[in-house]
Amino acid sequence: LRLRPTTVEVDPGIFRAYDIRGVVGRDLSVAVAELIGQAIGTLMAEQDLGDIVVGRDGRLSGPELAAGLIEGLRKAGRNVTDIGMVPTPVAYFGAYHLRTGSSVAVTGSHNPPDYNGFKIVIGGQTLSGEAITDLYTRISENRLHQTALPGTLAERDVSADYIQRIADDVQLDRRLKVVVDAGNGVAGEIAPQLLEAIGAEVIPLFCEVDGTFPNHHPDPSEPHNLEDLIQTVKRFDADLGLAFDGDGDRLGVVTKDGEIIFPDRLLMLFAADVL
Active site residue ranges = 109
Identity at 164, one-letter amino acid code: Q
In angstroms, how far is CA 28 from the centroid of its own chain? 17
Nearest by Cα to 89 from 62, 119, 124: 119
Q: Write down the H helix ranges in the chain.
A: 30-46, 62-75, 88-97, 130-140, 159-167, 187-197, 227-235, 263-274
Identity at 174, one-letter amino acid code: R
User: Quick check: helix, strand or coil at residue 36?
Assistant: helix
The greatest distance separating any two alpha carbons of the chain, rounded to the nearest whole angstrom, comes to: 63
CA angle (168, 160, 198) in 5-degree steps: 40
Identity at 84, one-letter amino acid code: G
Phi, psi of 240 (to 5 degrees): -160, 150
CA distance 151 to 74: 4
Which strands make up the sheet holding 201-205, listed edge to edge? 201-205, 177-181, 240-244, 251-255, 260-261
Contacts of 201 (CB under 8 A, 6+ apart): 175, 176, 177, 178
Q: Pairing relation of β-strands 79-85 and 51-56?
A: parallel
User: Quick check: helix, strand or coil at residue 49?
Assistant: coil
